[in-house]
Amino acid sequence: MLINTLAELKHAWVNKKQMTVKQQPQTSSSLNLSDYREKLKLGIVVSEWNPKITQSLLEACIESFKEAGLSDYQIIIRWVPGSYELALGAQYLFEFNNVDGVACLGCIIKGETPHFHYISEATAITIGQLSLKYNRPVSFGVITAETDEHAINRAGGTKGNKGEEAALAVLKMIEMKENLKSENRRSPGFM
């Protein structure tokens, strides 16, 4: 009898709270940030290494934030020596500027030694850990390429722009967090 009651309760709750799948926004201007856009403060940390590439990433990232309705004073940009330092730069923005999210932009191009692998792996891991540490989005806009040509293609060339992708990732995660907070769902805990 109890099992039937729990099953019926679960069925009724699921039917009442049917999940709706929204079409994923394709551009920063299609995101619904209206309720909190003016309060947002976002950071961009950019590697000085490979400046031709990282400048292109930065420009696309800024443009995407602005398309979402952010103004210059809501975007904090800081440069760090290389991609390895991106995570620490983002951490400083969280601690000293209290930003809502950070896009990390860099470019690591493979050379003749294994250095590329060490830097790429360490950069990816430390950037990923920051999101969990601060409960705020940190996006990985770091190009890891075999050649200069591959990097150029991913910095506004034939393969898109990782700076734009990094901005969109931050914005989408902020939108998701705000939507979940506003839904204020109360689950019985056993479903």
Could you confirm whether 11 is annotated as catalytic? no
Q: Which of 11, 115, 117, 150 is catalytic?
A: 115
Residue located via tokens 């990433």 = 57
pLDDT digits (tens, 9 = 90+) for 100-156: 999 999 999 999 889 999 999 999 999 999 999 999 999 999 999 999 999 999 999
Cβ(25)–Cβ(31) below 8 Å: yes
Residue among 67, 65, 57 nearest 41 (CA)? 65
Provide the sign of the torsion angle of the four alpha carbons 142, 145, 151, 153, taken in this order: negative
Could you give the domains of the chain?
Answer: 35-182 (3.40.50.960)
Residue count of the chain: 191
CA angle 74, 75, 79 (to 5 degrees): 155
Q: Provide the pLDDT confidence category of residue 9 given band limits of 50, 70 and 90.
A: very low
pLDDT digits (tens, 9 = 90+) for 14-33: 444 444 444 554 565 567 77
- At 183 the pLDDT is 80
Q: Is the pLDDT of residue 8 over 70?
A: no
- At 182 the pLDDT is 83
- The more confident residue out of 118 and 5 is 118
pLDDT digits (tens, 9 = 90+) for 92-103: 999 999 999 999
CB neighbour class for 109 (10 Å; exposed up to 12, middle 13-18, buried from 19): middle
Mean per-residue pLDDT of the chain: 86
> Measured in Å, how far apart are the chain's first and last C-alpha atoms?
18
Whole-angstrom Cα distance, residue 48 to residue 79?
6
Show the tokens assigned to 187. 């689950």
- The widest CA-to-CA distance across the chain, in whole angstroms, is 69
- At 101 the pLDDT is 98
